[in-house]
Amino acid sequence: MPLKLFDMHAHLTDERFDIDRAFIINDLRKEGVNYVLNMGTSLNDSKASVKLANERPYIYAAVGVHPDGASEVPCDYISKLEELAIENDKVLAIGEIGLDYHYEPNTKEAQKKIFAEQIELAKKLGLPISIHSREATQDTIDILKEHGNGLRRSIMHCFSGSTETAKIYLDLGYYISFAGPVTFKSAHKLKEVAKYVPAESMLIETDCPYLAPTPMRGRRNEPKFLGYIADTICNIKGMLFDDFCDIVYKNSFDVLGLKED
């Protein structure tokens, strides 16, 4: 059986792909990547993500406003996101949303506000969310506990926390998604998390063009590097590569409400 992978978090609308985006997408299945969930990070980027998904059969879209843009959202941004999601069948998630206190520590309240508002939108639409959390663990957990009741099972994107934090998210019912950092030689704690999290609660992603995995560090990340992440995790867990990929592929379909092909 040919290898099947689902890149659950990518940014193919990023300008770093402007030169060769079509070539990369055309080669996806040759590289073993059957599908990609492409993120929106702003209203304009969400529109671009939807346009790309509608043009390409193997691309699905998420729409949302990243926490970095929390202080700049127009007052009608929720209705605009809702319109995009309702009018386009290939929108399968709300994302990338969450909290990031690393670069924008002065916008904490604005970030928390739009995070909660977008969770409520996801609940209204019956969609999962893809959650960004950086240096904001407790606030992320608090908001998910307050607003997450009734939310479809969702995704902790590019998880970088501790085993203890992973347990909290697992207990809340979330999938833990692993990206390139799990392959880094210095990522001892993250490797322990990968060992701890059941494969049935895992997803994998590239977060391209960011965070290229070992041995591609320093290069622009691409969906075709997803296999390096899968290989690292199945070695950590002592699983056969094909068995691990089958499980996380099924998980991807389950979280997005797709029927397996």
CA distance 7 to 225: 10
List, for residues 210-237, the tens digit of each pLDDT value.
999 999 999 999 999 999 999 999 999 9
**Averaged pLDDT of the chain:** 96
Q: Looking at domain 5-256, which CATH architecture does it have?
A: Alpha-Beta Barrel (3.20)
Domain ranges of the chain: 5-256
Q: For residue 2, name the pLDDT band (cuts at 50, 70, 90).
A: low
CA distances to 12, 106, 127 from 161, in Å: 25, 22, 24
Counting Cβ atoms within 10 Å, is residue 237 exposed (0-12), middle (13-18) or buried (19+)? middle
| Predicted model pTM | 0.97
Q: Is the pLDDT of residue 129 over 60?
A: yes
pLDDT at 105: 80
pLDDT at 34: 97
Backbone region of residue 129 per phi and psi (left: phi > 0; alpha: psi in -120 to 50; beta: other values): beta
Q: At what angle do helices 108-125 and 137-147 cross, to 10 degrees?
A: 40
Q: Is the Cβ–Cβ distance between 221 and 206 less than 8 Å?
A: yes
Respond yes or no on whether the N-terminal peptide bond of residue 117 is cis (omega within 30° of 0): no
